[in-house]
Structures are given as structure tokens and as C-alpha cells.
């Protein structure tokens, strides 16, 4: 009987030790999960701030894109206006300036995408809790792919349609020197003046060349398409910034 009673303290001690071990394991799991959540929270916050900074920079880039392509479209329209009104008095130097403007393609700036690529290509999109934000980021990236395709169209038009006409009918060095500004007022003097071979041309006659006119019409269409695409991005980038700022608001450092 006494021996049986002596078993209870040992049994209680074993139960207590087992409970303590289980509780310590559960506590360790809880602490580990807490630290994991904190680490993911900090990583999410860091990603959100990087994305916000990137989209704030891209908002300025977008404004410059629109200014650049608006200037190109205006110059193309001015050339077509001269062709439509042969009686208009225009200086030869102004015609050269308009022609050199429409030889621009692409843009001196580009969208930043390092933070977005780190999230999407790094398979960290699920790190962001906001499902609507995840969709907007994926949509933005697809829009950039579409925009790059239109840049390629502009490039192909220059080398495939406009340049062949100018190469055979114009003084390229003379046109190149007509304006050293970048359309959209990005900056002045992007390149040095070229020596002009003898025999300066009056390019006002080129305005009445049908092949040249058609190339300028195509240029106008391309710029119109690009401007439409970029203007569609304006509300998207504003909504992205609004959502990112809302997500970041109130987060600790």
C-alpha cells in the first residue's frame, strides 16, 4: 500500500515535466511564428515603400513621356499643315526644325521597374496582403510590355519609312543642325553640330513630296497611339500611389 502511494508523486512529476515540455515547445513555436510574422511585415513594408518611391519617380517620367510625344505629334501636324496650305509663308530654317523634330523616336527617359521586378520576378507578390494592389501591380507590368511594343513601332517607322525618304531627298547634316533641343524640353544641346557638306538644300520643296507626306502622316498616327497609351497610364499610376500610401500609412519604421 505504501509503495503504491509513493508512485503518485513520481507520476505527478512526470506529468508536470511532460506538460512543461509541451508548453515550452508550443511557446517556442508561437515565438517563432511571431518573429516570422514580424519579419514578413517588415519585408512587406520595405517593399511597399520601395514601390511607392518607384511610382512617384515614374509619375514624373510619365509626364515627360507625354510632353515628348506631344511635341513630336505637334511637329508632324505642323508639317502636314504646311503641305495642306502651299501658299503659307514659312522660313526654310523652320521647316528644317520641324523635320528634325519628327526624326526623334523613343524617349530620353524610361520607366523605373527595379522594385516592381523584385516583387514580381522574385515571387514576392503574395507577400502583399492587399489583393487589389497585387492585381494593379501585375496590370501595370503588362501595360509596360504593351508600351514597349509601341516604341518598337516608332523605331521601325523611322528606319523603314522616314529615313529612306530623307536619305535620298534631304541634307541630313543640315537637318540635324537645325535644332539641338530635345522635344518636350528635356534638355538642350544633346549633341554636337555636324559639318554640313556643300550644297545646302531648301527643304520646303520636300513638304510637297507625297511619299514624305505619307511618312509624316504615319508618324502622326504612331504618336497619337502612344499618347493614348500613356494617358491611360495616368489614372492607373495615381490609383497605385493612392493605394500604396494607404497601405504604408500608420506602419512603424
Phi and psi at 211, nearest 5°, equal: -65, -40
**Residues 6+ away with beta carbon under 8 Å from 52:** 241, 244, 245, 248
Whether the CB-CB separation of 227 and 73 falls below 8 Å is answered with: yes
Q: Beta-carbon neighbour count of residue 155 at 10 Å?
A: 12
Cβ burial 45-61 (10 Å sphere, 16+ → b, else e): eebbbbbbebbeebeeb
Give the pLDDT confidence score for residue 200 in this predicted structure. 83
CB-CB contact of 91 with 99 (8 Å): no
Q: Give Dmax (Cα) for the chain.
A: 128
Q: Which residue ranges in the chain fall short of pLDDT 50?
A: 1-2
Report pLDDT for 160.
96
Q: Crossing angle of helices 2-84/92-102, nearest 10°?
A: 150
List, in order, residues 6 or more apart from 199 with CB less than 8 Å away.
171
Q: What confidence score (pLDDT) does residue 209 get?
A: 94
- Which residues have C-beta within 8 Å of that of residue 155, sequence separation ≥ 6? 105, 106
Q: State the Cα–Cα distance between residues 80 and 92, nearest whole angstrom.
A: 15
CA 179/CA 96 separation, integer angstroms? 8
pLDDT at 186: 62
Hey, what's the cell of 167?
Answer: 536619305
Supply the pLDDT for residue 166.
96
Q: Please give the Cα distance from 166 to 212 (Å, whole number).
A: 8
pLDDT value at position 141? 84
pLDDT at 174: 93
Amino acid at each position: 500500500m505504501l509503495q503504491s502511494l509513493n508512485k503518485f508523486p513520481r507520476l505527478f512529476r512526470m506529468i508536470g515535466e511532460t506538460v512543461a515540455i509541451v508548453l515550452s515547445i508550443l511557446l517556442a513555436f508561437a515565438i517563432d511564428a511571431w518573429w516570422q510574422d514580424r519579419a514578413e511585415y517588415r519585408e512587406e513594408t520595405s517593399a511597399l515603400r520601395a514601390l511607392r518611391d518607384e511610382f512617384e519617380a515614374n509619375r514624373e517620367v510619365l509626364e515627360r513621356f507625354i510632353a515628348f510625344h506631344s511635341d513630336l505629334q505637334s511637329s508632324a501636324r505642323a508639317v502636314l499643315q504646311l503641305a495642306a496650305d502651299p501658299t503659307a509663308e514659312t522660313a526654310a530654317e523652320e521647316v528644317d526644325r520641324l523635320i528634325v523634330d519628327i526624326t526623334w523616336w523613343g524617349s530620353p527617359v524610361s520607366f523605373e521597374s527595379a522594385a516592381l521586378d523584385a516583387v514580381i520576378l522574385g515571387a514576392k507578390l503574395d507577400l502583399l496582403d492587399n489583393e487589389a494592389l497585387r492585381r494593379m501591380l501585375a496590370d501595370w507590368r503588362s501595360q509596360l510590355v504593351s508600351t514597349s511594343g509601341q516604341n518598337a513601332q516608332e523605331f521601325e517607322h523611322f528606319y523603314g519609312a522616314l529615313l529612306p525618304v530623307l536619305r535620298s531627298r534631304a541634307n541630313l547634316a543640315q537637318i540635324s543642325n537645325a535644332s539641338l533641343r530635345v522635344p518636350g524640353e528635356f534638355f538642350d544641346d544633346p549633341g554636337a553640330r555636324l559639318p554640313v557638306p556643300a550644297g545646302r538644300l531648301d527643304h520646303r520643296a520636300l513638304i510637297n513630296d507625297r511619299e514624305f507626306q505619307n511618312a509624316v502622316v504615319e508618324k502622326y498616327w504612331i504618336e497619337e497611339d502612344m499618347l493614348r497609351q500613356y494617358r491611360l497610364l495616368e489614372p492607373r499610376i495615381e490609383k497605385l500611389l493612392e493605394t500604396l500610401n494607404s497601405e504604408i500609412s500608420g506602419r512603424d519604421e
